[in-house]
Each structure stands twice: as C-alpha cells, then as structure tokens.
Amino acid sequence: YYNGVTITATSLSCSGQLPVVSDTHIVYPNLLQMFEGDVDIGATTGVPIPAQTTGSSFTLSLRIRSSVSYLLAFQFRLYFDPTLIQATSCQSAGVGWSGLATCSINSPTNQALFIGSNPASTLIGPDLQVATLTMKAVGNNALASITGQVESLITAAGELCNTTYPCAIVSGQVVVRLGNGAKSELLLDVPY
C-alpha cells in the first residue's frame, strides 16, 4: 500500500563557507509523472485514493497528459474487481472536457469506459481532467487494484501512444485499501 517514504537531502560544505541546507519531504511511490498520452487516476498529491471503509463511496478524477498538442479525442477503459469495489456513476462532460463525451459502467461489471471527441478542442496541458468515476467499497480487509488501458488518444499532432493500441495505463494504476479496519496495516501481495 502507499506508505510515504521520508527523504532528507543535506548539502555539506567542506570549507565551511557555505551554509548547510537540509530539507525533508514525504514522497509517495504512486505519484509517477505521467508521460505524454498517459491517464492518471485519483489525487495529484499524497495518496491517490485514501483508505475506504466498507460501504463508503469515493470519487476519482481521471486525467490525461496532452501537453504537446491539443487533445481532440480519447477512449480509455478502467478495470477493477467488482467483488471489492463497484462503479456507481461516471461523468465525462463538464469536468474540463468541452466536447462530446460519454462513459459506461458495469457492462461488464469489472469495467468503466470513457470516450470523448472534440475536433475543435484547444485543450492542452500536462494534467487535463476529462472525467470522474464514483465507486463504492464493497470488500473488507483487502487491497483493490484499478488498472486500465488507453484504446485511443488523438491530438492535433496525431495519435498519442508509445506503442500500438491498446496502451497500458502506467502512472494511473492505483491500489485502494478497503475495510472497516482500513487504517491497520495489511500484508497482502498486490501486483502492480
């Protein structure tokens, strides 16, 4: 799970003429920098999805990196275990995306699909919110993975995918801790 790692950096001066500078930050391993054409899920700082108690609902922001050219169209799919977390609603329009948009959940129950298109789009940036997904924690004392794949991402400069489609979502893969004792430490092997 996402435990912060404290990193301290200190500069030293052998001659003693420069002041010693030290700073400490907590770093979370899930906050990978999105590469061009990748999708990110959850919060942009700290833990992407805080621990959830069984029965609670939580909303995820879904973002795309298109910082080189205007984002014109996208299609991506998220996967999850519906025995642990369930999709309850989704929204694609009105959250930063100004074009045609749709999303589909529970068809099948382990997936959520997001599609958007706007040939006249002038949306560009490193962290573009294009949709939200609301989920419900139904599992208890477990870690639930959310993964996904980009099926199409088109900018004014062309396709955005480092390989042939579908491209695995890299920086956006997340894990959420579930259960009424969600704050206790769980020792489960969850593949990333």
Burial class (CB in 10 A: 0-12, 13-18, 19+), 53: middle
Q: What is the pLDDT along the chain (192 residues), one digit of tens a residue?
A: 455 566 666 666 666 666 656 666 555 555 556 677 788 888 877 778 889 999 999 999 998 888 889 999 999 999 999 999 999 999 886 667 888 889 999 999 999 999 999 999 998 988 889 999 999 999 999 999 999 998 988 999 887 665 566 778 877 778 888 987 544 333 333 333
Q: Output the pTM of the full model.
A: 0.77
Cα end-to-end span (Å), the chain = 11
pLDDT of residue 173: 79
Burial class (CB in 10 A: 0-12, 13-18, 19+), 170: middle
The CB-side HSE value for 125 (13 A sphere, CA atoms) comes to 10
pLDDT of residue 137: 96
Determine if the peptide bond prior to 166 is cis (ω within 30°).
Answer: yes
